[in-house]
Amino acid sequence: MPSLPPRPRLRLHWRRLLLGVTLAAAAALSGCKTIHSVKIDAINNPAKSLGTSYRLEMNDPSGSQPEEVAQDARVLVKSALAARGMYEAPPNGAAEMVITAEYGVGPGQMKIVYKPSDSSLGGIATLGRGSPKPILVFEKYIKLTAREAAAAPPEPRAGGRRASAPRGEELWSLTVSVEDEKKDLGPYLAVLASTSVDYIGANSGSELHVAVDASTAEGNLRRRSGQ
């Protein structure tokens, strides 16, 4: 089956990292919030309906995430899908789509950022653009991909071998990620899952960045999913 059509990607480079560092600096000055700059990249198949029932397949490509993180990822992904009116089909029931949820931490990459510099002008503290500084950052991500549920495999061939079922056509795909100097995925799961709600089944048109308050992310997700 054909995959979704490619589209141009928007590359932000230093502006993206400057945004993240600036948000973190502002949060530190306020002393009360942790704000993450979440990157969103979503695409859909406009010729297909969104669907409501699904089978969920979780995938940790590195196999390095602890069991509690895997469990939290499953719960939070299901909450995000519920917030969009989707539900998990019963074990013996039919599902309209198969959703694969991939999650993990990417390899570290060196980036050049501009740490905001503090200054004082007439007794008023201000933030300015400082000197470039190389830092090692890690991408924490959740990627959701939905495909049409494939039909059951055909009857066994001669010799008893059953043909494999065809893969269903891709309906939509969404990646949400946060990039900073920390490597643990667990503390970011609620931020990523809550951000994904508004973009499940949507087309973002380009790479987007939104500021998300970590302290309210899980509560907002529970409220929207009816938990």
pLDDT for the residue numbered 144: 98
pLDDT band at residue 114 under the 50/70/90 scheme: confident
Q: pLDDT of 4-61, one tens digit each?
A: 555 544 344 444 444 454 444 444 444 558 999 999 999 999 999 888 999 999 999 9
- Quick check: 195 pLDDT over 50? yes
- Quick check: 95 pLDDT over 60? yes
The Cα–Cα gap between 43 and 149 comes to 19
Q: pLDDT of 168-194, one tens digit each?
A: 899 999 999 999 999 999 999 999 999
Architecture field, domain 37-107+136-151+168-225: 2-Layer Sandwich (3.30)
What is the reported pTM? 0.76
Stretch 128-136: mean pLDDT: 80
pLDDT for the residue numbered 209: 96
For 57, the 3-state DSSP assignment is: strand
Question: What ranges do the domains of the chain cover?
Answer: 37-107+136-151+168-225
- Quick check: 161 pLDDT over 70? no
Pairing outcome for strands 35-44 and 170-180: antiparallel
Percent of the chain with pLDDT over 70: 72
Residue 139 dihedral angles phi and psi, to the nearest 5°: -90, 120
- Quick check: 77 pLDDT over 60? yes
| 164 or 150: which leads in pLDDT | 150
pLDDT for the residue numbered 3: 55
Q: Output the six-digit token pair for 142.
A: 């959740």
C-alpha to C-alpha distances, 92 to 24, 62, 88, 120, nearest whole angstrom: 47, 30, 11, 66
The Cα–Cα gap between 160 and 37 comes to 54
pLDDT for the residue numbered 150: 79
pLDDT for the residue numbered 21: 45
Range from 3-7, 21-25, 76-80, 129-133 that averages highest in pLDDT: 76-80
pLDDT for the residue numbered 117: 64
The Cα–Cα gap between 118 and 101 comes to 41
pLDDT for the residue numbered 180: 94
